[in-house]
Structures are given as C-alpha cells and as structure tokens.
Amino acid sequence: MSRLDTRLRPELEAREQAHLYRRRRTLESGQAPLVRVDGEEFLAFCSNDYLGLASDSRITEALQQGAELYGSGSGASHLVLGHSRAHHQLEEALAEHTGRDRVLLFSTGYMANMGVIAALSGRGGLVLQDKLNHASLLDGGALSGAKLKRYLHADTDSLERQLSSSDSPDALVVTDGVFSMDGDIAPLPELARLCQQYQAHLMVDDAHGFGALGKHGGGVAELYNLNQEALPVLVGTLGKAFGTGGAFVAGSETLIEYLIQFARPYIYTTAMPPAVAHATLESLRIVRSESWRREKLAVLIQQLRDGVEQLGLDLMESDTAIQPILIGEANKAIELSQALERQGIFVGAIRPPTVPAGSARLRITLSAMHTEEQVDRLLSALEQAVRSVAVE
C-alpha cells in the first residue's frame, strides 16, 4: 500500500464498521419506475424524477434536436462565448415561469448554491440557515467566510431569536423549500415576514418543489404566492422534477447582473451543454401544461401514506413526493432496504452523516409514472420486510 493509501484505509474501515459505507449500483436503463440495475429488473422508489420526465420521449427528442442545432458541448464558460441562444431562451422562459425579472443558469444546483451564498455574503456578514439545510447550502455558507448560524428546523421562533440578537445588517436567511431528507415544506410566509421585519434577505433552494408543487409547477414560490420582493433569491434545479439537469437562480435584474460579475461557480466553469438547455425548454412546456402529473402524484402520496400508517410504521410528516419512514439505527435501515431489494424493490436507506445520528430512514420517493398497483406492491413488500427483519 502506498503511504497515502495507508493513511486513508482506517477511515474507510471505520465507516464500514459503522454500517455507513456507501456503494454505487449501476443503472442500465433510463430512470423510470421499472429499472435495470446490475443486470436485474427492479421497481424503484428512490429517484427525484417526481413527474416522470427523465425518460420522456418528447424531451429526449428535444435533446437530440438540441444536439443537432448546437452540437454536444458548450465549449466555453458563459462569459467566454459559451452562452448559447438555447441557454438564453431557457433563462427567459424560466423568468416568466417564476414571475421574476431574470434568471441565471448554473451547471448544477450544488454550484448555484455555493455561488449565490458566497457572492451575497462575506467576511463580516451573517448567514442563517435551517439546521436541516442541504449540504450545498452549508458548504456555500462555509465558502463565503461569513459568520454562520443554524436555527432549529423550521422553527421561526429560533430564527427570530437569532435575528433579533444580531447586529449584522443584511443577514442572509437560507432554507430548503422542501427538505430533501424529510419531505416537509419550510414555513415560508413566516420566514418572509421575519426577513422583512429584520431587514434580512430570504434565499430559498427549491430543488424538490420546483416543478412538483404549485398549480403550474412553480414550486413553493407559487404554492405560497411569494413574489420577488418577499422572496428575492429563488434557486431551482432542473435535474429533479424537470428531468434534465442544471439549475438556476431567479430574481431581480440587479441580483442577476451581480451574480454574473461575482459568483465564481458561475464564472469559472463550462456552460451546461446547450442541448440540455434546449431539452429543458420542452420540460418546462410539459411541466406547465400537464398538471395531471402533479394531481396523480398527490393521489399516490395519499395511497402510500394510508398504507404505511396501517402498517404501524413511523411515517414522517410530509405532503410531498418525499415520504420517509423513520427507522433509527443505520444497520436496521440497511437491513430493511436489503429485505425490500430481495423482493425486487429499491428504496434508499438514508444514514448519517446525511441525516442526524439515530435518525436513519427509508426514503421513499414517488413519481407520477408509478401506478397504484406498484404502490400496493411496495406496501406488501414493506409489510414482509418489517416482519422478516424483526424476526432475525
């Protein structure tokens, strides 16, 4: 073993001992309820493809058309002639969809969050984040060099205590719209009110709500009718409900110009392939016009919740497509997901450090492409899995 490997080995072994070791599986089909994984077919409940668009043939065709029009790669960063007409059209269409002045595309949601937080705050500033915020938001805070504080999850009293005891002007309050491992929605109207009262600025990362929530798929901003003044910094991602990839920030003309000048993860990276932007225009059309997908999702969510409650499992409070069952110990969550896998069903076991210690869970996610029969199949497999793991 090399000296470097000798240094790395013990940490890997400790992680394995703690049942926290992560292994990748190889997906051989497109993302869909029925997938091929390492040569076998499974019914999957673990993608973020909430509207079932990742394998939609109309979007695949748009991707092909985009490749014919613009080639396979952007070839440069946005500021060095990598900003194509497809990117520009998508920005304009997303600005209209979100009711904002302007939109700026980023290559990934992770980079959008890092870029925005680090551009908007810095040494001497204050960033207040929900305790359960996504890693990319926390990392953006760390990168900014600002003072960081975390308020209790979805607890506006806790946030207000921090806001009222701070003397930093222009605090940035940052929250997930829909919490990725819990599925609950942030108390946004109250957060927006507190930000107005204390002259702070609200930033929402709506990775899991955008497309899936709101009458037209406008996400939490549409659900709560939060305009640009109440919610000045809105981040959405395109790799989840939209079925393609990439992300964006929506806000005022000034905000977007500021980010173009100062957001380093925007400036120093290659623009997403223009064909992806072109395909995402088709996603957006479908997201807006096919509201039956959101309605179908709501029906499946209710069916699953009723079924899981009947099994007496500890279902977490969530109205979204993310439906976690709290298990507790990491090894038990793993055993349950393995018992489901033996029955041909994939559900992610989420363990620390992604979630707090002792709160390992099965994270079931639903897609509008699942059928009611498939949800029934999951429910019977869960019943079986719980019985077999309890017996062992």
Residue ranges binding ligand PLP (CB under 6 A)? 108-110, 113, 134, 136, 176, 180, 205, 207-208, 237, 239, 247
Q: How far is the CB of 116 from ligand PLP (least distance, A)?
A: 11
Q: How far is the CB of 240 from ligand PLP (least distance, A)?
A: 6
Q: How far is the CB of 182 from ligand PLP (least distance, A)?
A: 11
Q: Which is nearer to ligand PLP, 121 or 374 (CB)?
A: 121
| C-beta neighbour count of 325 within 10 angstroms | 19
Q: How far is the CB of 304 from ligand PLP (least distance, A)?
A: 20
**Burial bucket for residue 44 (CB in 10 Å: 0-12, 13-18, 19+):** buried
Please state, in angstroms and rounded to a whole number, the distance separating the CA atoms of residues 111 and 247. 8
Please state, in angstroms and rounded to a whole number, the distance separating the CA atoms of residues 298 and 224. 17
Q: How far is the CB of 184 from ligand PLP (least distance, A)?
A: 13
Q: How far is the CB of 251 from ligand PLP (least distance, A)?
A: 17
Q: Which is nearer to ligand PLP, 237 or 283 (CB)?
A: 237
Q: How far is the CB of 136 from ligand PLP (least distance, A)?
A: 5
Q: Which is nearer to ligand PLP, 239 or 307 (CB)?
A: 239
CB 94 within 8 A of CB 284: yes
Q: Which is nearer to ligand PLP, 349 or 386 (CB)?
A: 349
CA-to-CA dists, residue 215 to 40, 68, 253, angstroms: 37, 34, 26
Q: Which is nearer to ligand PLP, 228 or 237 (CB)?
A: 237
Q: Which is nearer to ligand PLP, 114 or 200 (CB)?
A: 114
Q: Report the C-alpha dihedral over residues 288, 249, 189, 297, rounded to 10 degrees.
A: 30
| Helix/strand number for the chain, H first, E second | 14, 13
Closest CA to 218 of 192, 245, 250, 175: 250
Q: State which residue has the least CB distance to ligand PLP.
A: 109
CB 160 within 8 A of CB 195: no
Token code pair at residue 42: 């499974």
Q: Which is nearer to ligand PLP, 191 or 381 (CB)?
A: 191
